[in-house]
């Protein structure tokens, strides 16, 4: 049946038809533990009753009216997200790439307002910001960019976690107006931005009058143990991108801003047909309420420690395991060799995981997992890695 699809994904040979909490059932009735959450989307797990009820009620009432009219649910959601994040205004869209497109457009407006004809945005090695042309250009992955030239002008790339490189870029490029970065790089291999690095970015942005723009599409909504990852560095950005977990599977993205950055877009300067429609906004409101009610960001921090401690105990001494890292429920286990085959081996063991940056096992379990489910992830992954390292040892 997949002949009718553009072949953008080398899909695994399994299809799911039902989910509940951290579990998925395939079309043959087999049950899988989901340690990936649809790539950090289903933070509340599958078929969460609060989201299901919100969608059911809203579907019976009103799906869409367009942004030509007031949308009270969108306004309520914006107010809640601003209160949690320290931002002041929100533009809703439908995906992470669109949220970052809005951020990039804000930076351009910011630059032009300063009288710069060709404003530049500082982006990082190994960054991932999406697949539209501008966000693909901002993405630090040559393979993802190959064949899509000409790319978009106006980006300057520096190594991640390197403040000296930021200072050098500031000296070399007089046109920089913003920094776009993930506080924890996801696709790039669960690379954690040091607290001092994130603080240092804030200082540089203040010193130079740049916008600090965090892409929290993957890290946001409690995933890293706080509502937003930057909160662990005690700073606030000027612009914030959200998507993935915001709707728990209902597509919705958001670009948030504060201060002068929040006033840059005016009627006619940006827009969207679907963005923030009543159905999507209602789902996201249910997500926000559930994160609040069950203190799931705090729970993610606790579970992250449990998982990291478990992995260190089971695998810390294995020579093939180079690093165990992450924040909250965004975890990476870096091996000394390519390990893409582990994804299929895990699938056979009825566990869903991901491998990114060739050698990094990426785990993004839902925030609602139990301690027992977390321990099960530790056991299964540790067994798989042990077998994998033994079977691929070069001797």
Binding site residues, ligand PLP, CB under 6 A: 95-97, 100, 128-130, 182, 186-187, 215, 217-218, 243-244
244 is catalytic: yes
Least distance CB 41 / ligand PLP (angstroms): 9
Alpha-carbon gap, residue 307 to 352, rounded angstroms: 16
Least distance CB 127 / ligand PLP (angstroms): 8
The H-assigned helical ranges of the chain are: 37-40, 49-61, 72-85, 96-113, 133-138, 142-145, 163-172, 195-208, 278-293, 296-315, 342-348, 371-392
Contact between 35 and 365 under an 8 Å Cβ cutoff? The reply is: yes
Cβ within 8 Å of residue 391, ≥6 positions away:
none
Alpha-carbon gap, residue 286 to 267, rounded angstroms: 29
Our CB check for ligand PLP shows the closer of 182 and 238 to be 182
Among the listed residues 128, 160, 214, 311, the single catalytic one is 128
Among the listed residues 91, 92, 214, 215, the single catalytic one is 215
353: left (phi over 0), alpha (psi -120 to 50) or beta: beta
Our CB check for ligand PLP shows the closer of 46 and 223 to be 223
Our CB check for ligand PLP shows the closer of 186 and 189 to be 186
Our CB check for ligand PLP shows the closer of 243 and 315 to be 243
Our CB check for ligand PLP shows the closer of 186 and 304 to be 186
Least distance CB 306 / ligand PLP (angstroms): 24
Contact between 217 and 99 under an 8 Å Cβ cutoff? The reply is: yes
Instruction: List the helix and strand counts (H, then E) for the chain.
Output: 12, 17
Our CB check for ligand PLP shows the closer of 187 and 334 to be 187
Least distance CB 367 / ligand PLP (angstroms): 16
Cβ burial of 14 (10 Å; 0-12, 13-18, 19+) is: middle
Helix (H, G, I), strand (E, B) or coil at 153: coil
Least distance CB 160 / ligand PLP (angstroms): 13
Among the listed residues 160, 244, 311, 388, the single catalytic one is 244
Alpha-carbon gap, residue 253 to 357, rounded angstroms: 25
CB atoms within 10 A of CB 4: 5
274 is catalytic: no
Our CB check for ligand PLP shows the closer of 184 and 378 to be 184
Edge-to-edge strand ranges of the sheet holding 253-257: 89-93, 253-257, 239-242, 211-215, 176-181, 120-124, 155-158
215 is catalytic: yes
Least distance CB 346 / ligand PLP (angstroms): 21
Residue 104 is given by DSSP the state H
Alpha-carbon 383 to chain mean position: 28
CB atoms within 10 A of CB 68: 8
Q: Indicate which residues carry an active-site annotation.
A: 128, 215, 244
């Amino acid at each position: 049946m997949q002949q009718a699809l553009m072949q953008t994904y080398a899909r695994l040979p399994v299809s799911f038809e039902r989910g509940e909490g951290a579990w998925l059932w395939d079309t043959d009735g087999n049950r899988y533990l989901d340690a990936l959450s649809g790539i950090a989307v289903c933070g509340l797990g599958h078929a969460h009753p609060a989201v299901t009820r919100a969608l059911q009620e809203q579907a019976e009432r009103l799906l869409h009216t367009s942004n030509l009219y007031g949308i009270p649910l969108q306004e309520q959601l914006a107010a809640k997200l601003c209160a949690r994040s320290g931002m002041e205004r929100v533009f809703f869209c439908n995906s992470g790439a669109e949220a970052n497109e809005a951020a990039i457009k804000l930076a351009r407006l910011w630059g032009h307002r300063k009288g710069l004809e060709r404003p530049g945005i500082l982006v990082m090695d190994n960054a991932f910001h999406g697949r539209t042309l501008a966000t693909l250009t901002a993405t630090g992955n040559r393979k993802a960019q190959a064949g899509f030239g000409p790319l978009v002008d106006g980006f300057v790339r520096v190594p991640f976690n390197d403040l000296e490189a930021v200072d050098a870029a500031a000296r070399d490029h007089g046109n920089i107006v913003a920094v776009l970065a993930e506080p924890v790089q996801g696709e790039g291999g669960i690379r954690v931005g040091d607290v001092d690095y994130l603080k240092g970015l804030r200082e540089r942005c203040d010193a130079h009058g740049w916008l600090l723009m965090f892409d929290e599409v993957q890290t946001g909504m409690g995933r890293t143990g706080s509502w937003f990852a930057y909160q662990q560095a005690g700073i606030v950005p000027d612009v914030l991108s959200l998507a993935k977990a915001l709707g728990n599977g209902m597509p919705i993205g958001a670009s948030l801003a504060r201060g002068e950055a929040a006033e840059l877009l005016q009627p006619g300067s940006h827009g969207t047909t679907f963005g923030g429609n009543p159905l999507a906004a209602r789902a996201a409101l249910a997500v926000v309420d559930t994160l609040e009610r069950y203190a799931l960001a705090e729970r993610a921090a606790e579970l992250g420690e449990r998982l990291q401690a478990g992995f260190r105990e089971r695998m810390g001494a294995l020579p093939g395991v180079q690093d165990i890292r992450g924040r909250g429920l965004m975890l990476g286990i870096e091996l000394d060799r390519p390990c893409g085959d582990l994804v299929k081996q895990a699938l056979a063991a009825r566990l869903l995981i991901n491998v990114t940056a060739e050698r990094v096992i990426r785990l993004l379990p839902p925030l609602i997992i139990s301690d027992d489910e977390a321990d099960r992830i530790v056991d299964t992954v540790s067994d798989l890695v042990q077998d994998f390292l033994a079977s691929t040892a070069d001797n």
